[in-house]
Structure 1
Amino acid sequence: MAHLKTSSYALYFSFLLILLSHEAKGATFEIRNNCPYTVWAAASPGGGRRLDRGQTWVLNVAAGTKMARIWGRTNCNFDGSGRGHCQTGDCGGVLQCTGWGQPPNTLAEYALNQFNNLDFWDISVIDGFNIPMEFAPTRTGPGKCHPISCTANIIGECPNQLRTPGGCNNPCTVFKTPQYCCTNGPCGPTDLSRFFKQRCPNAYSYPQDDPTSTFTCPGGTNYRVVFCPLGAAQDLPIEEMYEIKEVGQEE
């Protein structure tokens, strides 16, 4: 009888594991470069891939993945072994990223199959901005399951103190103070974080900018990340795209 009882428990737990494996689904991310220049896409987890204009990288991510991100690197030069350097978004001088990128870099962040089997995802400019981005579910769902983007001309309008070659830095990287890095408990927006928020209202502009910046979709949703989506500032001619203006300067 004890043997039969043990066997019954084993069958039950095997069935439960199978059921859970079917319920917790991973996600496919379609990463596309619409920019008029090459982007070296990066993903953690996932590695990296060179994307010329119009090219796509399909990334399959396991259920339960969290603290994950996708970003683009610009002005990169890699040798045959995959070692080199990027002007923005560099991840330790390698093509195949195993860690996170160096600011400034526009981020698509996500965690799959979290509370109540929901995916949590966002666009963040907490690490600054280098490429316009759209982050979207391939199908809309209830609540905050809809496309978001950050496509303003942030590089062209970047405040003087945040300017850097190829991008617009975040204030924490530049000043390294608790006020901008939110390292001493609760913190709020600053004038510099508002610069980003006014231009990209759906994006994280400082570390505790949660209420308007976190989005959810049912677990098992697939997503797309587009660099320079239609209508982004980088669709402008190159000489106009990098024209630097003071914040609030009249045309």
Structure 2
Amino acid sequence: MAVLPLVFLYILALVLPGSVVGVTFHVNNKCPFPVWPAAAPNSGHPVIGDGGFFLPPGQSKRVMAPPTWNGRIWGRTGCDFSATNAAGRCLTGDCGGHLACNGSIGAPPATLVEVNLHEDESKGSSYDVSVVDGYNLPVAVWTRPANRSSKCFIAGCAKNMNALCPPELQVKTSGGKGKTKVVACRSACLAFGLDAFCCRGAYGTAETCRGSVYSRMFKDACPGYYSYAYDQAAVAARCYAPEYVVTFCPSRWGAAPGRVAQL
């Protein structure tokens, strides 16, 4: 019975060449270390990309989604799903120790690509990158065919946020020989839980929540990202396209390859 809808969609595509029956995300890893991309749908939307997968350095993977898909995409780092570690875990962005998150949201801090697709070209699809809960990797997003306008292109970071992260926000792991390394940077909201940092309570409006020294630090490193809930300077792209490119560690992320910490 499941074959019939697929046949119908194929016929529809032939009859209506301009119609969109699916959207493709090209997920690229330009980091000098492996990344485990993951996706979690919003309520009422299906899991895409098997919920998560392994992506070696320099590799890419195509992920299909319905033309009206809503959800988030993020990259996990330092994962171990080997047989000797049956429970599995990731140093950042973990979703219960599973390779396939199956709809589960990754644990912050993790840089999030937030997606809201529309089938109607006149409405336009929207997407943004958020570090409201913190940062683990730089990400760039654009459409294919490429549209580098400010309305369609979200660039990566100008600086390595993990290298600049203040001690009170750092997420560290052992680097061997008694040394530690920073693998992610928490937001002030995640670190301290205060209303002023989380834009809630008396600070729950755009007028009362103006960011902080911490959110400005994130904004300086990653100008196009949402650095706090009411960030007016963030890039909220609204571009309709059949294909989108999501790239971890794009070339403009501001750190020479030799200086990037291996995760």
Q: What TM-score does the superposition give when structure 1 sets the normalisation length?
A: 0.79
Q: Given the alignment of the two structures, is residue 171 of structure 1 paired with residue 177 of structure 2, yes or no?
A: no
Q: Which of residues 241, 244, 249 is equivalent to 2:260?
A: 241
Q: Aligned-pair distance for 1:141?
A: 7.7
Q: Aligned-pair distance for 1:206?
A: 0.4
Q: Distance in 2 between matches of 1:48 and 1:233?
A: 27
Q: Aligned-pair distance for 1:151?
A: 4.8
Determine which structure has more spread, i.e. the larger CA radius of gyration. Answer: 1
3-state secondary structure, aligned to 1:150: coil
* 2:55 aligned partner: 51
3-state secondary structure, aligned to 1:196: helix
Q: Aligned-pair distance for 1:79?
A: 3.4
* 2:180 aligned partner: none
Q: Given the alignment of the two structures, is residue 40 of structure 1 paired with residue 36 of structure 2, yes or no?
A: yes
3-state secondary structure, aligned to 2:98: coil
* 1:126 aligned partner: 132
Residues 106-121 of structure 1: pairs in structure 2 closer than 5 A: 106-113=111-118, 116-121=122-127
Q: Distance in 2 between matches of 1:41 and 1:82?
A: 20
* 2:24 aligned partner: 28
Q: Distance in 2 between matches of 1:99 and 1:82?
A: 18
Residues 214-225 of structure 1: pairs in structure 2 closer than 5 A: 214-218=236-240, 220-225=241-246
Q: Aligned-pair distance for 1:143?
A: 6.6
3-state secondary structure, aligned to 2:52: strand
Q: Aligned-pair distance for 1:207?
A: 1.2
Q: Aligned-pair distance for 1:183?
A: 2.1
Contact 2:141 2:244 survives alignment (8 Å): yes
Give 1 or 2: higher helix fraction: 1
Which residues of structure 1 form unaligned runs of 5+?
A: 1-17, 243-251
Q: Aligned-pair distance for 1:25?
A: 4.7
Residues 183-202 of structure 1: pairs in structure 2 closer than 5 A: 183-184=200-201, 185-186=204-205, 187-202=209-224
Q: 1:168 to 1:222 in 2, by over 3 A?
A: same
Q: Distance in 2 between matches of 1:151 and 1:94?
A: 32
Q: Aligned-pair distance for 1:147?
A: 4.2
Q: What TM-score does the superposition give when structure 2 sets the normalisation length?
A: 0.76
Q: Identity, % of aligned pairs?
A: 35
CA RMSD of aligned residues (A): 2.7
Between the two proteins, the alignment pairs up a number of residues equal to 222
Residues 132-181 of structure 1: per-residue CA shift (max 9 Å, x gap): 21111112187712342235211111112111121111111111111111
Q: 1:21 to 1:162 in 2, by over 3 A?
A: farther
